[in-house]
Amino acid sequence: MKPGLPILFALAAAACGDAQDSYCSHPYIWPAGTVLALEQRAIPGSEVEEAAGCIALALTNVVLPRCAAEAVDPEARAEARRLAGEFQRTPAEERLVERKGQMLDLGLELWKAALELEPGQWTPLVETAGCFHVARLKEKGSALLPGHVQLTLEVCDFPYLPPAEAHERIEAQLDRSKLVYVDESWRALVPIAWQHRLRGDSP
């Protein structure tokens, strides 16, 4: 699969997703649509090809850190996901915290999940690197550029990595991970420094 033209704000349309369905039992047998793999974590083209203006930036700032976070503490991640699912079914209003901002303020994944909603509607479960989020759209502004649309959200977070140490642990996981180019056409989209860092190779 060759990457298509990127769309400015659509990267998180398929959040790192159900990781338990994205891991392979054999390193060279990948699910259909896989273009890259971080260790045994398959990365489908749909996760990155509609990237935020620059596929390389989306890979290094969003997709790869999120995939690495999945591997740091799988048990804590599974528990955080379970709790977030329970909250979705029976939201506790007192746990919601208001956040307001544009795409860069709220983060691409959460902002994108809420952008198409109407006030009062809930996002699906959103995963960022080290945390799950459930949010309800409160207000939506307007702007000429989509990324400048300001949203007011009511959010509940379910971290599976302690925020104070999440960045360090994710970076350490990346440093010991290997990137596999399942689709060779994607090699050129990975920055050279990251190719060296992740010791990438073809299957």
pLDDT of residue 20: 42
Contact 201, 181 (CB under 8 A): yes
What is d(CA 89, CA 52) in angstroms, rounded to the nearest whole number? 31
pLDDT at position 17: 43
Rounded to whole angstroms, the Cα distance separating 102 from 141 reads 9
Distance (Å, rounded) from C-alpha 100 to C-alpha 139? 9
In 3D space, the residue among 97, 98, 169, 95 whose CA is nearest the CA of residue 129 turns out to be 169
Q: Would you give the distance in Å from CA 46 to the centre of its chain?
A: 12
Question: How does pLDDT run across 37-59, given as a tens digit for each residue?
Answer: 998 899 888 777 544 446 777 88
Q: What pLDDT is recorded for position 167?
A: 96
Q: What ranges in the chain are assigned the alpha helix state H?
A: 55-58, 64-72, 74-89, 103-106, 108-115, 163-175, 192-197
Q: Three-state DSSP class for 23?
A: strand
The type of residue at 151 is: L
Highest-scoring range by mean pLDDT, 74-88, 135-149, 169-183: 74-88
Contact by Cβ (8 Å): 100, 77: no
Work out the mean pLDDT of the chain and round it to a whole number. Answer: 84
